[in-house]
Structure 1
């Protein structure tokens, strides 16, 4: 069975992957010139800046995963939200973020 530490590492890693994928998708849309098909041209600058924020947040999640892996827990300061214990709930929650990504990359 998974320990609490290993579950935290897995969740941080999944969050890092999802945030990175959203950032990569925005960069892909910018590189292919199709970003203006999805957002107003005046807002394109802010969407590009949001990709930088997504990458920064992904790096933070990766750092949190490494800290959990090394035994330093953010839960000690009581400033971390614990994920659900239900596997089905976690699949549903992460699926809500992965489904639009998958559709975006496929189409």
Structure 2
């Protein structure tokens, strides 16, 4: 049986993977020279910088997952939204982010 803390850690790991995927997709677009097909040339610098923000947030999610897995309770700020207990709902919500990511890499 998975405890609620370990379930929360799994959700943080999934979120970290999604954020890393979007960061890698931006790097892929830059390396292939196709970033300008998606964004205005004046905004390309900001999109490149956003990849660093995505990676930083992914690292934070991994850190949070590690703390949850170890049973360390972070100071409560009442700003966290617990994921739905429904596996179908969670698959739908994460799928909303994974579908465009998969379509981008499979183009």
**TM-score band w.r.t. shorter chain:** over 0.9
Tell me the TM-score normalized by structure 1.
0.94
Tell me how many residue pairs correspond in the alignment.
107
Structure 2: distance between partners of 1:74 and 1:29 = 36
Match of 2:12 in 1: 12
Match of 1:22 in 2: 22
The CA RMSD measured in Å over matched residues stands at 1.2
TM-superposed CA distance for 1:5, in Å, is 1.2
Tell me the TM-score normalized by structure 2.
0.94
Q: 1:74, 1:80 within 8 Å by CA — same for their partners in 2?
A: no
Gaps of 5+ in 1: none
Match of 1:70 in 2: 70
Match of 2:100 in 1: 100
Gaps of 5+ in 2: none
Equivalent residues in 2 for 1:52-63, closer than 5 Å:
52-63=52-63
TM-superposed CA distance for 1:76, in Å, is 3.8
